[in-house]
Chains A and B, each alone.
Chain A
Amino acid sequence: MLKGLWKLTWLEIKIFLREPLGVIGSIVIPAVLFLALGRIVTSRPVRFSNRLTDFVMVGLPVFVSVMIAISTALSLVTIMAIYREGGILKRLRATPLRPHTILAAHVMVKLFMTLVTLAIVMAVGARYYPVTVDARFVSFAGALLFSTLSILGMGFLIASLAPSGRFAQPLGSLILYPMIGLSGLFVPVEEMPDAMQRIASALPLTYAVSLLRGAWLGDAWSLHMGDIGVLTVVFIACSALSARLFRWQ
């Protein structure tokens, strides 16, 4: 029922934008983070070592993007918990809306908000990172949407497994944030000890970071088929598991 999907998506976008905390968490914080970090690293007249320069010019935009994706997924986890405990999901389900339409609408809202946040972050960060809206930027935005979709899949799985709403957000943070440390953002995966490399290669975020970094550097997507494959598998596996485990009330 496509009509219901668009209408529900639009309705949920409006409702989301009326929630001050949600807007601050998912749009304002990444923008401020980006501005602050950008200012710190560009205000010092220091010659960076190559690695630091690499982090500032490549790592930071990717890091902020990953933060956007994760906070988006956490927001989804929280909303699902609130909607479930408030009986909102149950009420929506007792309409002609199909169950997957209700969930898909939330994914659409989150992807939309991801794009909006990216646009805002890029706009406010323009003085440090001159970005033009070109093919590379579109490719990067696409990579972010794709990575976010995969992480949203994990979000749904966390929302399905969390015993109650109070646990949902902390559980999500506990699962998603530590992945950043081993994702290759700060230390390239190849330079990690073997054991850590194995862990890193098991984390979906590692592939998101690789895809985002590549897109930021202007790589063609065809160079990242492995990343895309893993992220697709993660999304499909998480969605399939969530479909079985998801509780509506």
Chain B
Amino acid sequence: MSVIQVSGISKRYGRTVALDDVSFEVEQGEIFGLIGPNGAGKTTAMECLEGIRVPDRGAISVLGVDPWRGLRALQHRIGVQLQEAQLQKRIKVGEAVRFWASLYPRHMDGDQLLEQLGLGDRTHVWFMSLSGGQKQRLFIALALINDPEVVFLDELTTGLDPQARRAIWELVRGIRQRGKTVVLTTHMMEEAEKLCDRVAIVERGRVIDVDTPARLVARHCPNRTVLVTTDDPSAEARFRVLPQVDEVSRAESVITVRGRDEVVTAVIQCVSQHRIHVTGFHTEMPTLEDVFLTLTGHRIRN
């Protein structure tokens, strides 16, 4: 069952096209990622879903409601975390959560929520004194305070160190576990791969493809790379004749074999059959990063 339907939305700012005929659907209970480089239009798309912006063309339905027209009704059913938003420097964590709770007729217990998010001992601390990770946890708390059905998280882990990022990922999985739908944006492919059930690849205001990370990789980057370390002089030639292999290259004792689908099995069988003495064996799977490169011709960062 889809909780969000986006069909053909476009948005311009002057001559800049921020969104160009964007369509996708988000299923109930999944973590859905809008991925792409900065400036691709992810945040604009997200803010259209949140009812903060209105698209020039196209239709959006979130929980059966047009977010722009039905914002008042929808606000009680969605939770948002905005990119690069801050709170008042000297607001206390507990004050923020209690104030936010007071704005919604139906809300969760703020102190309990802070406890669950690991901020139980921070309630009397000013916002400005929190670490980056703690600030993001507080924003998650504010996004969850009204016990929403859909949660929007925009660039949630940008600027966090890897440890804090992993902790946040766990929290987001926890949100899914409560049966909520999560829509997030990220420009980090690793984050999308580890966290998202399905992703939409956004580039220059267009959605290029939508699917699970694994299927996107299988569809656009079926190639596998095998790195075999061996001193056997015959190995390179034997790998070269395998039908699954496209390309073989050698750098000192490391032979790089590229091919499709069954290339890994083929190389293993070949090694075994010819009793090639191998001192190292390593396979490289393509990632979403490679999918992005294949689809757009450039890397996601810079």
Q: Which residues of A line the B interface, CB within 8 A?
A: 1, 3-4, 7-8, 11-12, 14-15, 18-19, 83, 86-88, 90-91, 93-97
Indicate whether B88 reaches chain A with its CB closer than 8 angstroms: yes
Best-surrounded residue of B72, B75, B95, B103 (most CB of chain A within 10 A): B103
List 29 A-B pairs, Cβ < 8 Å.
A1-B103, A4-B103, A7-B99, A7-B102, A8-B99, A11-B91, A11-B95, A12-B88, A14-B95, A15-B89, A15-B91, A18-B90, A19-B90, A83-B88, A86-B85, A87-B84, A87-B85, A87-B86, A88-B85, A90-B82, A91-B82, A91-B85, A91-B86, A91-B87, A94-B50, A94-B52, A94-B80, A95-B75, A96-B76
Instruction: Say whether B104 faces chain A, with CB atoms less than 8 Å apart.
Output: yes
Residue of A nearest to B143 (CB): A94
- Nearest residue in B to A8 (C-beta to C-beta)? B99
B24 within 8 A of A: no
B-chain residues with CB within 8 Å of residue A4 when the two chains form the complex: 102-103
**Number of contacting residues on B, CB 8 A?**
22
| Interface assignment of B100: CB less than 8 Å from any CB of chain A | yes
B135 CB to closest chain A CB (Å) equals: 12
A93-B52, A96-B103 known; 13 new pairs, CB 8 Å cut-off, are A15-B88, A15-B89, A19-B90, A86-B86, A88-B87, A88-B88, A90-B85, A91-B85, A94-B82, A95-B75, A95-B103, A96-B75, A96-B104
Q: How far is the CB of B99 from the nearest CB of chain A, in Å?
A: 6
Tell me how far the C-beta of A98 lies from the nearest C-beta in chain B, rounded to whole angstroms.
9
- Report the 9 A-B pairs with minimum CB-CB distance, sorted nearest first: A87-B85, A86-B86, A91-B85, A18-B90, A15-B88, A96-B103, A15-B90, A94-B80, A96-B75
Minimal Cβ-Cβ distance residue in B for A82: B89
- Determine the chain A residues whose CB is within 8 A of the CB of B95 once the complex forms: 11, 14
